[in-house]
Amino acid sequence: MPVRRKSGKRRSTDGLDQWFFVFSSGHDFFDELAELGIETDAYHCPSLEDSEAAWRRLGAAFLEIPRHPEQGEPWALKEFGPPTKRRGRRRVS
């Protein structure tokens, strides 16, 4: 009988389906974040703080999903950088 693999809690991808379009475009077109209790504004955009926290947790798994080359760079990658690196605090003028 094969050995059953245990998924680590740190590598959990729960919620990736709901965040997929936000990571791709910055918008929650199908109101899927409501299932996770994440609020969006009138343009269906979650707060940058919520988006960045989700990106840090789920970004590596998102980048493993094959995408068509013409789709270009995902919004979250442009906005927050690689999911494994923390960026410095933004300065507000």
Confirm whether 86 is domain-assigned. Answer: no
- Residue 5 above 90 pLDDT? no
31 close to 41: Cβ distance less than 8 angstroms: no
Q: For 57-80, write each residue's pLDDT tens digit.
A: 999 999 999 999 899 999 999 999
- What is d(CA 66, CA 55) in angstroms, rounded to the nearest whole number? 17
> Is position 1 within any domain?
no
Within-domain flag for 93: no
| 30 in a structural domain | yes
**Residue 26 domain-assigned?**
yes
State the pTM of this model: 0.77
Q: Which domain holds residue 20?
A: 12-80
The count of domains in the chain is 1
Please check whether residue 5 lies inside any domain of the structure: no
Report which of 35, 83, 80 is spatially closest to residue 60, judged by C-alpha positions.
83
Q: Is there a domain that residue 7 lies in?
A: no
